Amino acid sequence: MKITPIDIAHRSFGKKMMGLDTDEVMDFLQQVAGQMEALIQERNALKEALREKELSLMEYKERDQVLKETIATATQMADRLRQDAEREAKLITADANQKAEIITRDSRDSLKRMYQEVNELKRARMQFEANLKALAQAHLSLLEQGEKYMPQMHLQNQNFVGGGTNGNTTNTGSQGNTRSTNISPLSAE
């Protein structure tokens, strides 16, 4: 059975001869009861303080757990964002590389076409120059052949002019050269 300060303060003892002084015993019991009451109050105060500390500790543990969970969630989100950013960067880089390859390929194709066009133009120019040269040579050859027959025609013209009866001569200027208007084609080749 638990003894309380009230039990101590109201405890009564039996009387014997030559017993103890009851006043002293009662005073001592009152002192013991007072000290016991103080100890109980101190113990209760310590229990309350311990309970408050345990509650505070529990709050801190809960806060710590929430903080750890928040940090873990933030870390996961940061990792996810980093992975998403890396994936997006890879997609953007791949797209840019693909576009760059297309632009490079198109530029090469365009440059190749331009070179082909330039080469075709050079060939056409060379062909034109060759044709022009051949034409000039053909005309020159015709002129040279014509000069071979010109002295004969000149002589024929002089015969006509000397006879003077035909009237088919034309004066060509102050040098006195005359030409016949009815020159026959060159048949003496």
pLDDT digits (tens, 9 = 90+) for 6-19: 877 777 777 777 77
Residue 150 domain flag: no
Whole-prediction pTM: 0.40
Residue 175 domain flag: no
30-34, 98-102, 110-114, range with the lowest pLDDT: 30-34
Residue 129 domain flag: yes
Residue 168 domain flag: no
Residue 154 domain flag: no
Residue 156 domain flag: no
Residue 87, SS3?
helix
Residue 183 domain flag: no
pLDDT digits (tens, 9 = 90+) for 150-180: 766 666 666 666 554 444 444 444 444 444 4
Considering its fold, how many domains does the chain have in total? 1
The pLDDT of residue 68 is 95
Task: With a cut of 60, say whether residue 189 has pLDDT above it.
Answer: no
Place of tokens 């006509």: 160
Place of tokens 């019991």: 29
- What is the sign, positive or negative, of the torsion defined by CA atoms of 56, 58, 64, 67? negative
Q: Identify the domain containing residue 108 by its residue range.
A: 5-11+21-144
Residue 138 domain flag: yes
Section 116-134 average pLDDT: 95
